[in-house]
Amino acid sequence: MAISIKSQYEVELMREAGRILALTHDALKKAIKPGITTYDIDRLGEEIIRSYGCIPSFLNYNGYPASICVSINDEVVHGIPSKERFLKEGDIVSLDVGVIYKGYHSDSARTYGVGDISKEAETLIQVTKQCFFEALAVARPGNHIRDIGAAVEAYADKWGYGIVEDLVGHGVGARLHEDPEIPNYVTVRKGPKLKPGMTIAIEPMITAGTYQVRWLEDDWTVVTMDGSLAAHYENTVLITEGEPEILSRADGVDL
Ligand code: MF3
Ligand code: CO
């Protein structure tokens, strides 16, 4: 499929989807405490999304059975919420959330510490976030998709971290996953050129150890091969003539 260029009106809808998504993340962040189950997080998330008249993007997507992906410690992405899974002090937890507003998706992810976490875990979370901002800085017309991966790789490498290669960022809009794919590493090909009106989800998935991952028996949960911690940071971004615009944000909510 060709890469879609969004109209002003489509961008307007995606901005609103992104605003609601940011408010949802903000509410979920406040609920992250030892003792809460990943099921509770999913229930709360879906409730908030629907309270804005939106639909959770992930629910039933390729059969995914919940609204929020909740991934703990060595789980990288796509953890399935469960009544038996409790957050505990010292864990790190990644929340990946998507909302549909008037037919348009916004997709973003954050990793949080549960109570006090180790210095190592805190650094991984911060570096993963910075990987996104390194990528954002080169998300400009004239540059190519490869420049995004190169920026993530250069920064993650400085820390000796693993970059997950089996999952990638993506175009986003009327569908959750659109072209192009956006790897978090340097590819042989330059890939498509970035153009104003493209909307993309940039989402580094970084580990404290190996880049290698495997899928659990549930066919969803992706974990690090070596059991090392993983973090995820994602936003939906609009390519403009100048500075890229983060669409998955809201006034008064920290990125
Ligand atoms: N948020 C994921 C992404 O960024 C997609 C989740 S897929 C689902 O691409 F099936 F779990 F919903
Ligand atoms: Co995504």
Q: pLDDT of 89-106, one tens digit each?
A: 999 999 999 999 999 999
CA-177 nearest atom, ligand 1: 9
What's the 239 CA to ligand 1 centre distance in angstroms? 21
Report the chain's C-alpha Rg in angstroms: 17
Cα separation, 21 vs 204, in Å, equals: 18
Alpha-carbon distance values, 184 to 37, 49, 150, 170 (Å)? 31, 29, 7, 11
Reported confidence tier of residue 1, pLDDT bands at 50, 70, 90: confident
Choosing from 55, 62, 78, 216 the residue with most ligand 1 atoms within 8 A of its CB, the one to mutate for a pocket test is: 78
Residue 254 included in any domain: no
What's the total number of domains in the chain? Answer: 1
Residue range of the domain that includes 56: 8-246
Q: Is 90 exceeded by the pLDDT of residue 119?
A: yes
Average predicted confidence (pLDDT) for the chain: 98
C-beta 86 within 6 A of ligand 1: no
What's the 90 CA to ligand 2 centre distance in angstroms? 26
- Find the mean pLDDT for residues 239-244: 98
| pLDDT-above-90 percentage for the chain | 100
Cα separation, 71 vs 38, in Å, equals: 9
Residue type, 78: H
Residue 195 included in any domain: yes
Residue 2 included in any domain: no
* CATH at 189: 3.90.230.10
Residue 1 included in any domain: no
Let me know: does 14 contact 247? Beta carbons within 8 Å. yes
Q: What is the pLDDT of residue 9?
A: 98
Q: What is the pLDDT of residue 219?
A: 98
C-beta 69 within 6 A of ligand 1: yes
Residue 20 included in any domain: yes
Residue 60 included in any domain: yes
Cα separation, 125 vs 140, in Å, equals: 25
Q: pLDDT of 26-56, one tens digit each?
A: 999 999 999 999 999 999 999 999 999 999 9
Q: What is the pLDDT of residue 65?
A: 98
Q: Output the CA angle 152-155-156, nearest 5 degrees.
A: 80
- Find the mean pLDDT for residues 203-223: 99
C-beta 62 within 6 A of ligand 1: yes
Strand partners, 77: 222
Instruction: Give first-to-last CA distance, the chain, whole Å.
Output: 31
Q: Is 90 exceeded by the pLDDT of residue 202?
A: yes
Residue 253 included in any domain: no
Residue 3 included in any domain: no
User: To which H or E segment does residue 201 belong?
Assistant: strand 199-202
